[in-house]
Every structure is written in structure tokens, then in C-alpha cells.
Homo-oligomer: A and B are copies of this chain.
Amino acid sequence: MSDRIFNFNAGPSALPLDVLKKVQEDLLNYKGEGLSVMEMSHRSKTFDGIIKDAERLMKEVMNIPEGYKVIFFQGGATLQFAAIPLNLLPNDKKADYVNTGSWAKKAIQEAQKLEKSINVIASSEDENFSYIPYDIKINPDAEYVHITSNNTIAGTQWASFPETGNVPLIADMSSDINCRKIDVSKFALIYAGAQKNMGPSGVTAVIIREDLLEKSPANIPSMVSYKIIGGKDSLYNTPPTFGIYVVKLVLEWIQNMGGVEEMEKINRKKADLLYNAIDNSDYYRGTVKEDSRSIMNVTFRLPSEDLEKKFIAESLEKGMIGLKGHRSVGGCRASIYNAVPMEALEALVKFMAEFEKNNG
């Protein structure tokens, strides 16, 4: 039970130990009901309580105003890449997308594959996605603008969100939802796979302005329809019940920690510790422009690829996993989501100093 390692995985990633302990405790017999949450009917009173709690907690934790619906989908952010244009972009209209890296690109490509018209209004591909193109020009007749609030692979994050006027703003927040306070009323739709800051993979939260639910056309698959899945309160078919239960526990944990305001303070402290270690060294080098740095995924390089290999190998020996950069970009990356404790950062920074000393 003990001997847990420091988990810097990019996703699926660390979960709060308190949450895992609760899951473990109730695994064979949930609150004395004689069965596991996995074995419960999704139409049972108990599970209905769980999913309603999860929705309520999402609303409380994110301070979601009236007029929005929280829906749990399957299929990850990737299904939403299709769902968004299928539901919200008629074939004779256009939508604006900002290209800030691999995942933004996948959202763009999926819309294009579905034969939808897309404008890429800004991109940071010219500099390896190492910055956020804050200065964007939105087409006033765009059906929506799509951004990726945090870019897991590049290690960038929108520090502030664009003003889009009357054009609905849609954000993929898979890798930074609930890491900081945001103003939900600025968004028409926010979506996030759970497996970074909210729970296990297999659950995707969609926060959608209710007036948009009516836009879903009839001739799209039911499982991607905001109108159908939202209209049935995420219970059109059997949802991923166990995943939603864990999401509920994670949201409770955030609330007990003091909410996103407190999470943000801790996250900034954690990120500062690591960025300071990088900035105060000539050995480590950050890969991202300062105004675009992510507080969730910190990317950095060592003097050579050989040293990076050695660094990653030795970090594993020190009980730290997940420090290898994404296979598409190389280098090192520490994903420091909500559930990664300060001690993990302290251990990492200490190891970095030692490694530099021994390999300088």
C-alpha cells in the first residue's frame, strides 16, 4: 500500500491518494449496500445520487452560472473534436480555430475530415508551438472560435482568454480544467477528458450553454448529440458509471482542499518552484516563452539528448515517473496536475540539482 512513487505522467496521471483510498475502501461494498459501484444499475437511486453529485460539484467547483448544463460523455476529447462541428457547425457556415499544438491540430483535422469549413485564424507552429498567439483576429461571422487552453505536449497555456464578442468561445480544457479560477460565462462550451485533473480516462465533461443544445441536427450519431445526451442528463445509455463516481470523489477532494482558488495557489507555487530551478540554471533550459508557460506541464531540455536519456533513467531509479517528453518533441516534461503534491516537486528539484552537479 505504501511505496507510492512520484507521478509526473501527462495523462492518465496522478490521482489524489485520499480519493484512491476511498475507492479502495468501498470497492466490494459501497456504503454498506452490499455491492460495488461497478455492479450498480445506472438507473438505481444510489447511482443517480452519485451522478447528480458529480454535476453539482462541477457547478460549485467551477462556479458555473445559471444557464449551463454539465454533461458526461464517453470517447475522450477526440469524440468532442467531432461532436463540436457536427452539433454546432452547419455545412454552409465557418468556424475559427487556433492552432497551438498537436491537440489543437487534431481538433482542426477532425472538423475538416467531416467536411466542415474551418479557418485557422492563428498558429504558433512557426516556432514549434512554443508560445500562445494571444493576438487573434476573429471572423465576426464565425459560428464559434475553438482554442486549446493548455497544450500538454508543448507546455503552453493561455494565461488569459481572448475576447470574442458575439462569437461563441469553445475551449478544450482537458489538461487544465480546475487548475485555476476561470470565468465560465466567457465560454459557450468547455470540454475536458477526465484523465488529467478530474479522474480516470473514459469520462469527458462537457459544460455547455443551454441554448446551444437546440442546435444539434437530427442526423448525427446519438452518442455525439448534445441535445440527446444532454436531454437525458448523461443517461441516454449506460454511462461509464465507475469513472463518474471517481470524478465525483476528485471534485469533492478539490472542494475540501479549498476549491480552485486554493488549487491555483498551490499549482502556482509548484510551477514556480520548477520554473525557478530551470531559470536559475544554465544547465536546464525551458522551451516555452514566459508569457505562455503552463502551470500544468513544464517542458525543459538538458544540454544534450544523451544527458536527457540519463536524466530520465536516473529519475526512475529515484522513484519519479513520467518525466520523458512526448515522443513527438523529445526532451523532458513534468506534468504537475492538481493531484501531484508539493513533495513531488521538491523531490524533482532536488534531483535536478544533484544531476546537474554530477553531470555538469
Contact = CB atoms under 8 A, between A and B. Distances in A.
Interface of A: 1-5, 7, 9-15, 17, 20-21, 23-24, 27-29, 32-36, 38-43, 74-79, 81-83, 86, 110, 113-115, 193, 195, 199-203, 218-224, 236-243, 246, 319, 321-322, 327
10 contacts: A12-B38, A20-B28, A38-B200, A79-B223, A81-B222, A113-B222, A114-B220, A200-B241, A202-B202, A202-B239
A347 to B, nearest CB: 13
A159 to B, nearest CB: 26
The listed residue with most B CB atoms (<10 A of its CB), out of A13, A41, A83, is: A41
Assembly of this chain: how many copies?
Answer: 2
Nearest to A335: B41
A35 B5 contact: yes
Contact of A20 (B27, B201, B202, B322): B27
Contacts of A86: 221
Contacts of A246: 38
A7 B39 contact: yes
B113 A200 contact: no
A4 B238 contact: no
Contacts of A12: 38-42, 238, 241
A19 to B, nearest CB: 9
A319 B34 contact: yes
B35 A28 contact: no
A194 to B, nearest CB: 10
Contact of A78 (B81, B113, B202, B222): B222
Given A42-B201, A114-B221, A76 B14 contact: no
A157 to B, nearest CB: 20
